[in-house]
Structure 1
Amino acid sequence: MMDSLGSVTLRPWPAPQEELSQEDLLFKIEQLASERGHLRNITEQSLQEDIDAGKHVPEATVEADSADLDEKEKDAPSGQDQRDKVFKAAQEMYSHLEWAKFAATNALDLVSLVLSQDPNKRSLTFFSPNFRDQGLNQGIPFGSFGISRENHEHHNRRPEEVQRMQDLEHRQKVVAQGARMGALDSAVDEILKAAKHLEKEMRRETKYWHEIVSVSDKGWPIQRLRQNARHAPFAVRYGLPEASDHFKARGFAPLQMDKDGSIILDPTLALKPKTFRVRVSVDGNITGTSQLSVEDDFANQSLEKSIQLARDSLLEEELYYEMSLEVRHLLAYGVDFRDSVIYVDAPRLGNASQDRKLLIDCIPRNDPVAGGQGHEHDWLARNVAEALRLLLAHEHSMRLYRRSQLPPPLTARTREKPPPPLLRTLLAVIRHVEGVDSLYVYLGLVTKTLYTAGLDVALNTTRETAWASLAETLKASRKDLSATDQLLEIFMKPFDGKATLTLPTSNGVQPETLTVVTRTIIGQPTFGTEHKLTLSSAMTSDLGLFHQHKFATVEEVKSYLDWLISLHITHRLLKSEYSSYAQIRSQDPRLTVRCKESKKGEPSLKDIKVQLNDGQLKATLMAADSPPESDDAEQSHTWSGPDDNAALREVIRNWVG
């Protein structure tokens, strides 16, 4: 093995050809100078010859190596010595490696401990496992070891250099002091500026909160906003909670903050408020209005007043809007809609031949009142306007009541929501009052006339039965509805008026009564006013009439009652008084009576005709079997007022004899 290694020439591994840097070139030159001697004897040809001859070192070096090799061959140790030497070298190498590892871990722990002074560079992974177990876990803190750099150079400076250094140090101190003073001045300015800004913001917030509390104390609900919370953190809800969807959405306004902290009016609050107006027109002339003169300056109103005006305006607009939707269902009742004005037939005001209308519209609140119009019917216009407002408020209350009840069963059909009965209720009240008043005036006149004629009659009228029993209804009040809602709920139901006329009887024991019930409803099944007349059983059997009769107008009731009372007087009262001398020949209020004997001794037959017309009672003595329309009256008497004291029976007795 050693013999074979003796002729081995060690050469460097050929490196890849690459450009040598200046440092590498200097290294190569130094190497050649140490191996070949002076560079002057080294040429390219000499180097190539050495390569071809297998020589790459000088001969002296080769000879020395050969001599050493011979000596080593002579002194070559045995195999055991070689193994012991290799084992010893391995142990030394292992000890060196252990020491190198120990030094490296110590250096790593030292550098990591120094770097741990920075909080961003503290991590357990930077330390060795041994140091983590024996050091950090035993209480050694991070950053407990530091390194600083100090300059230990000491030399004597020249005086001018010392003076220059002192001047520089003095200037640096002055500059630093000036910089500190400038920074302090800037800091003071910033603090003063921040204090002024804070004071301004405090005054601004105080003023804004003061106005917010003022609005809340007036009863307006305040709500916090999420959007734009910096400039408008709160909003006021001034709309009615049970209003229609369109007007409920409009009843909400943010309370924006101005630069000085005051509240800026939202555009919805800054709009000109509107008012609901009702006018009374008689023959084309305005004789009454519900509009009041307004002298307030809306631009300078307080915030609370502006919110109240916006709420009132919203209610007025909703009232007009709901009535406009209701008009199209009431065209058959004389209701018209032209040029944004609703025309409704007004109740009778004195002369029945006058053309009377209610004109309903919605106008700006500050519009001036038109001049040159009458004011004698202002009370009627204002009462109608206030009644319609109360009906809308009642509708809002009933919507809340209906929502609090159990909902109806679910169906596939969409439930229609009709407009609230505002105009319907107004028309029903007007028509019912007109109907019952006209009828009761007639019945009162008839009662006075019959009483003047010596007939014992009595009249009992009730304009509305629910109004008559109102006290009892409110006493048994419901807990779920207030007294006001119960009162207004009566106006939503059909109106029933009742009049009872007690007539004289032939026997004077059991009175005969006529009952007229007047029902008014603008809807199914009546669609207006209906009068139902109910007769007593004795009258129906004696006169051969039906028990009940229905009439659509007051004129029909008057005409039928005139005929019926006249028929009752002739066919029942006079027939009972002259039973043996009287005879009924027709269904007209006419009675044939045998009068006293004439001079020739022959009895005569006369017809007594009784007519009741518009409160006037007329009795006529005519020839028997004369035509009904005949004017040949032998005698007649008319009762038209309380001044006539003649009794009907006495007058007829004087005629018959």
Structure 2
Amino acid sequence: MSASGSVTNVALRPWPTSSRDKLTPLEIHAQIAQLTTERGHLRYITEESLQNEIDTGTDPSKVAKNDAKDDKEKGAPTRQERLMEIQATGRNMYTKLEWSTFWTSNMIDLISLILSKDPSKRVDGAFSARFKEQNIPHGSYGLDKGSSGEENDKGALTREAITLEKKKRRLVGMGSRMEALDKGIDDILAAANELETEVRKETRYWSEILSVSEKGWSLQKLRKDAPHSPFAVHYGFQEASDHFKARRMAPLRMDKDGGIILDPALSLKPKTLRVRVTADNKVLGTAALPPTGDLSDLGIEKSIQLARDSLFEEELYHEMSMERRQLGSFGVQLRDSCIHLPVPDLAGGPTSKTILIDLVARDERPVDDYRAMDTGDHAEDWLAEKTAEALRTLLSHEHHMRGHRRAQIPPPLTQHRRQNPAPPLLRTVLTFFHHTSAVNVLQKYLDRTTEVLNSAGLVVSGDIVRETSWAHVTDTIHTSQASELSAVDRLIEGVLKPFDGVATLTLPSSNKARPEQINVTIRTYMGAPIFGAEYKVTLPPSLGNVLDLPVDHPREFRFTSTPELESYLDWIISLDLAHTLVPREYGARAIIADMIPPRVSIWTKEGKEGIKKDLAVELERGIIKLNFGIIQTAAGPTGGGDFSWDGAQGAASFREKVKEFTDPK
């Protein structure tokens, strides 16, 4: 008994584990997996089901096995049963969908009816067909959000409190409506003011657009496909070079007051051309620059004109910079963005000047090294002014000629690309300066020579035409082949050609009835084939005989420098005096002795013997020298001496001195 009793009282307990407050995540996942395997999904496990299992003593795993066994014994449903089950499920689903559609449609109609109270909402398309058939007016149903106010937290309000609450609500509603009316009136007034401002701005904008168009500026839409695209003005030149043709148009924007302004994003700082004349590192003259000032307050027409002038000045400087590369052999240089153009003395003197050309901003005056060298004596301002005007005129003429050439029939197509040479701006100015200097030097020589010859009793005259085309300007314009060009363009077109001048000097030996002249043609061009000034001297037939030239030999001689020309003319005049004038006066008694220097021998009779007297004539640097040679007689050499004329009046004439020497009695 004791043994059996001891056995029946044995208690089996699990192995003791350490006490913990909570399980680890791995342990929780393991228990959840075990519960899912034994009891199915966790949503079917509740506290009541667990307590029921404890009270009844059922094992869930055994119940699951029995259910599976019963299902297996019962067998799978037949095809007919399965079809009936599917049809029943479909009818149930369709019924629920119909009710869902019905309630959803009613809800949409209700919400749309509430929203229709606001006239700004367009809800006609949201109503169902059944609702539209009932013709319920819009806005007939409203919805307000708020508490009822009939009860408070402590219970029902008294009648007086309800009356007071209604009065407060009525006052609040009235105040709210008054505030809404005030706000509406303010909005209407603000809209009216804004409309008035916009009308005033539009009126001013279109009036200025019309004014700009009436002044001759070309306007167009910036973008033709955009309805509200701003206008753009063409202020550039259509025949400008490719580098500046793309910058000849700018949009016209509206400012805050309705006025027109050029697009600030495209407007650049205006620039102008500055021309100065220097000599020995001193500024002798400066072309007038436009006045400085605030450029932001200018009118639209003045702004457009300023932009056009600035673009023209930039193109002019660009063209001169490109042309400068071809004129390096003439001393034209570009240093520190400034073009240095050497110019000879226009009066024919030995000194030379330099013209400086650069591009500066209109609203500022840059400080350079020449500012400190300004002498204050602006005697050459006229030269700087005329140079700047000539350069601008030449570029404007080039624009006209480009348009003229573009309007002509194009030449035949060839494999060679047609070249567009740079316009001769600096070359033309340089040619004019050198031609003027050469003509003035020759003019001084003619004046000095005629003066000294007249002082010696030899009546001569000299004349000079600086440019043959200028002497017959009217004929040049009328006989021009380009009849479609304007008179100004025809005149300037003649300036671009080589300059031709003609000077004449009568010979001292010629008579008044049939005077003979020495013709000097001056041709100047700073390019091929002359590269400067060239002088061509044409002699009369009498001098051809003196020089023993053949009849068919041209009596033309060319010179490239003024000293060579003056030396040759002095020798020719001396030769005419000695070999033409003296033999004509003394006939057979005069014998030509030498040509360099011109010398003649005259036979005279003193007593019973004939004596040969030598006479040399030399014209040099405006002085005529008459040299009496030594006379060989039986008694020995005798005589000798000289006489000169320097232009002073009152001296004996050339003929008197020769006669005095040859016939002393």
Q: Same fold (TM over 0.5)?
A: yes
- Are positions 1:593 and 2:596 aligned together? no
What are the equivalent positions in structure 2 for 1:109-148 lying under 5 Å apart?
A: none
- Matches of 2:348 and 2:562, distance apart in 1: 17
1:537 to 518, 536, 541: 541
Post-superposition shift, 1:557? 0.9
The residue type paired with residue 615 of structure 2 is: I
Aligned pair in 2 of structure 1 residues 24, 466: CA closer, same or farther (>3 Å)?
closer
Aligned pair in 2 of structure 1 residues 535, 22: CA closer, same or farther (>3 Å)?
closer
Post-superposition shift, 1:333? 1.4
1:17 to 73, 81, 94: 81
* Residue 392 (structure 2) aligns with: 389
Aligned pair in 2 of structure 1 residues 506, 342: CA closer, same or farther (>3 Å)?
closer
* Residue 651 (structure 1) aligns with: 657
Alpha-carbon contact 1:231-1:256 (below 8 Å) kept: no
* Residue 442 (structure 2) aligns with: 439
Aligned pair in 2 of structure 1 residues 508, 15: CA closer, same or farther (>3 Å)?
closer
Aligned pair in 2 of structure 1 residues 182, 333: CA closer, same or farther (>3 Å)?
same
Alpha-carbon contact 2:217-2:234 (below 8 Å) kept: yes
- Matches of 1:633 and 1:527, distance apart in 2: 52
Alpha-carbon contact 1:231-1:257 (below 8 Å) kept: no
Aligned pair in 2 of structure 1 residues 409, 248: CA closer, same or farther (>3 Å)?
same
The residue type paired with residue 567 of structure 2 is: S
Post-superposition shift, 1:214? 2.9
* Residue 622 (structure 2) aligns with: 615
2:586 to 568, 575, 578: 578
Post-superposition shift, 1:643? 0.9
Alpha-carbon contact 1:506-1:572 (below 8 Å) kept: no
Which digits, 9 at most, give the CA deviation of each residue in 1:290-317, with x for residues without a partner?
1436242223222222221111111111
2:416 to 397, 404, 413: 413
* Residue 637 (structure 1) aligns with: 643
- Matches of 2:515 and 2:312, distance apart in 1: 54
Alpha-carbon contact 1:506-1:576 (below 8 Å) kept: no
- Matches of 2:134 and 2:284, distance apart in 1: 106
- Matches of 2:180 and 2:360, distance apart in 1: 66
What are the equivalent positions in structure 2 for 1:400-549 lying under 5 Å apart?
A: 400-474=403-477, 479-505=483-509, 510-545=514-549, 547-549=555-557
Alpha-carbon contact 2:205-2:260 (below 8 Å) kept: yes
The residue type paired with residue 551 of structure 1 is: F
Q: Secondary structure at the match of 2:469?
A: helix
Q: Secondary structure at the match of 2:609?
A: coil
- Are positions 1:237 and 2:234 aligned together? yes
Aligned pair in 2 of structure 1 residues 624, 313: CA closer, same or farther (>3 Å)?
farther
Which digits, 9 at most, give the CA deviation of each residue in 1:454-487, with x for residues without a partner?
2232223111000000133345576411111112
Q: Secondary structure at the match of 2:276?
A: strand
Q: What RMSD over aligned residues (CA atoms) do the two structures have, in Å?
A: 3.7
Post-superposition shift, 1:21? 6.2
Which digits, 9 at most, give the CA deviation of each residue in 1:365-417, with x for residues without a partner?
23348464331111111111111111111111111111111111111111121
The residue type paired with residue 439 of structure 1 is: L
- Matches of 1:565 and 1:268, distance apart in 2: 72
- Matches of 2:135 and 2:350, distance apart in 1: 121
Post-superposition shift, 1:189? 7.1
Shifted more, 521-530 versus 410-419: the winner is 521-530
- Matches of 1:381 and 1:481, distance apart in 2: 29
For the pair shown, the structure with the greater C-alpha radius of gyration is 1
The residue type paired with residue 481 of structure 1 is: L
- Matches of 1:316 and 1:571, distance apart in 2: 61
Aligned pair in 2 of structure 1 residues 571, 197: CA closer, same or farther (>3 Å)?
same
Aligned pair in 2 of structure 1 residues 479, 351: CA closer, same or farther (>3 Å)?
closer
Post-superposition shift, 1:525? 2.0
Alpha-carbon contact 1:592-1:624 (below 8 Å) kept: no
Post-superposition shift, 1:527? 1.8
The residue type paired with residue 619 of structure 2 is: L
- Matches of 1:20 and 1:269, distance apart in 2: 83
1:399 to 372, 385, 402: 402
The residue type paired with residue 344 of structure 1 is: L
The residue type paired with residue 612 of structure 1 is: L
Q: Secondary structure at the match of 1:222?
A: strand
- Matches of 2:294 and 2:645, distance apart in 1: 65
Aligned pair in 2 of structure 1 residues 17, 570: CA closer, same or farther (>3 Å)?
same
Shifted more, 504-513 versus 409-418: the winner is 504-513
- Matches of 2:135 and 2:476, distance apart in 1: 104
Alpha-carbon contact 1:504-1:511 (below 8 Å) kept: no
Aligned pair in 2 of structure 1 residues 410, 512: CA closer, same or farther (>3 Å)?
same
* Residue 33 (structure 2) aligns with: none
Alpha-carbon contact 2:453-2:647 (below 8 Å) kept: no
Q: Secondary structure at the match of 1:532?
A: strand
Alpha-carbon contact 2:277-2:354 (below 8 Å) kept: yes
Alpha-carbon contact 1:590-1:608 (below 8 Å) kept: yes
Which digits, 9 at most, give the CA deviation of each residue in 1:571-610, with x for residues without a partner?
1111222232221222221111223426xx4333221111
What are the equivalent positions in structure 2 for 1:68-147 lying under 5 Å apart?
A: none
Q: If the length of structure 2 is used for normalisation, what is the TM-score?
A: 0.68
- Matches of 2:325 and 2:135, distance apart in 1: 100
- Matches of 1:491 and 1:23, distance apart in 2: 109
- Matches of 2:426 and 2:406, distance apart in 1: 24
Which digits, 9 at most, give the CA deviation of each residue in 1:114-141, with x for residues without a partner?
xxxxx99xxxxxxxxxxxxxxxxxxxxx
- Are positions 1:567 and 2:575 aligned together? yes
Shifted more, 194-203 versus 608-617: the winner is 194-203
* Residue 250 (structure 1) aligns with: 247
Alpha-carbon contact 2:509-2:577 (below 8 Å) kept: no
Unaligned stretches of 5+ in structure 2?
1-77, 90-123, 137-169, 633-637
Aligned pair in 2 of structure 1 residues 454, 180: CA closer, same or farther (>3 Å)?
same
- Matches of 2:256 and 2:363, distance apart in 1: 30
Alpha-carbon contact 1:253-1:268 (below 8 Å) kept: no
Alpha-carbon contact 2:239-2:400 (below 8 Å) kept: yes
Aligned pair in 2 of structure 1 residues 345, 408: CA closer, same or farther (>3 Å)?
same
- Are positions 1:340 and 2:302 aligned together? no
Aligned pair in 2 of structure 1 residues 192, 512: CA closer, same or farther (>3 Å)?
same
The residue type paired with residue 426 of structure 2 is: L
Aligned pair in 2 of structure 1 residues 620, 205: CA closer, same or farther (>3 Å)?
same
Q: If the length of structure 1 is used for normalisation, what is the TM-score?
A: 0.69
- Are positions 1:300 and 2:297 aligned together? yes
What are the equivalent positions in structure 2 for 1:245-394 lying under 5 Å apart?
A: 245-267=242-264, 270-292=267-289, 294-348=291-345, 352-368=349-365, 370=371, 372-373=374-375, 374-394=377-397
The residue type paired with residue 311 of structure 1 is: R
Alpha-carbon contact 2:222-2:232 (below 8 Å) kept: yes
* Residue 554 (structure 1) aligns with: 562
Aligned pair in 2 of structure 1 residues 404, 642: CA closer, same or farther (>3 Å)?
farther
- Matches of 1:602 and 1:277, distance apart in 2: 80
Shifted more, 532-541 versus 297-306: the winner is 297-306
Which digits, 9 at most, give the CA deviation of each residue in 1:169-191, with x for residues without a partner?
xxxxx9xx999999999987776
- Matches of 1:445 and 1:208, distance apart in 2: 70
- Matches of 2:407 and 2:87, distance apart in 1: 100
Post-superposition shift, 1:330? 0.8
Alpha-carbon contact 1:620-1:633 (below 8 Å) kept: no
* Residue 108 (structure 2) aligns with: none
Identity of aligned residues (%): 46
- Matches of 1:486 and 1:268, distance apart in 2: 41
* Residue 9 (structure 1) aligns with: none
The residue type paired with residue 200 of structure 1 is: T
Shifted more, 585-594 versus 410-419: the winner is 585-594
